[in-house]
């Protein structure tokens, strides 16, 4: 695969910055929803169970956003050091189409597929 051009890197940087801002916003919004449910609230048992389920789902979503946020920050850092676009496992070029679909990905399709099979 070919290495990324400057124009491709600029395009991907713009997308990474956009995702970074979006994730910051989502993390801020999700902060309230992940707080523990107060057990002494004057609500019924089913309402409390529903609130606890929503809190657990919000916590799982927040964790997913935090993981992706970390990947985006690493990708932006890799752009600055010219290490962006290379697989962290095999060190081959990842390819523009894959990066366009998921600009924060640290792995090529082959290495990602191998990791998912484990």
pLDDT band at residue 87 using 50, 70 and 90 as cut-offs:
very high
Per the structure block, which two tokens stand in for 82?
């010219």
Instruction: Give the closest residue to 116 by CA, choosing from 105, 71, 21.
Output: 105
Q: Among 52, 72, 76, 62, which residue's Cα sits nearest to residue 26?
A: 62
Rounded distance, CA 62 to CA 80, Å?
A: 27
Identify whether 1 is part of a domain: no
Q: Output the pTM of the full model.
A: 0.79
The pLDDT value recorded for residue 106 is 95
The DSSP bridge partners found for residue 86 are 93
pLDDT for residue 45: 62
- Judge whether 37 and 55 are in contact, CB under 8 Å: yes
Instruction: Give CA–CA dist 70/97, Å, rounded.
Output: 21
- What is the number of other CB atoms lying within 10 angstroms of the CB of residue 81? 7
Percent of the chain having pLDDT more than 90? Answer: 62
- How does the average pLDDT of the chain come out, rounded? 88
Number of domains making up the chain: 1
12-26, 41-55, 102-116: the lowest-pLDDT one: 41-55
* Residue 50 covered by a domain: yes
CATH code of residue 41: 1.20.120.910
Domain that holds residue 104: 6-117
What percent helix, strand, coil does the chain show, rounded to 5? 65, 0, 30
Over range 79-91, report the average pLDDT. Answer: 93
Who's near 90: CB < 8 A, 6+ residues apart?
108, 110, 111
The verdict on residue 57 lying in a domain is yes
Q: What is the pLDDT of residue 103?
A: 97
29-82 tens-digit pLDDT: 887 765 665 656 666 666 767 777 888 888 899 999 999 999 999 999 999 998
């Amino acid at each position: 695969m070919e290495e990324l051009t400057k124009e491709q890197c600029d395009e991907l940087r713009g997308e990474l910055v956009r995702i970074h801002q979006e994730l910051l916003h989502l993390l801020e919004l999700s902060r309230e929803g992940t707080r523990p449910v107060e057990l002494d609230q004057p609500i019924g048992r089913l309402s409390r169970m529903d609130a606890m389920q929503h809190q657990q789902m919000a916590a799982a979503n927040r964790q997913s956003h935090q993981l992706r946020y970390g990947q985006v920050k690493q990708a932006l850092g890799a752009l600055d050091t010219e290490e962006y676009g290379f697989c962290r496992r095999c060190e081959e070029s990842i390819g523009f189409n894959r990066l366009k679909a998921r600009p924060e990905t640290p792995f090529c399709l082959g290495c990602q597929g191998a990791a998912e099979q484990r």
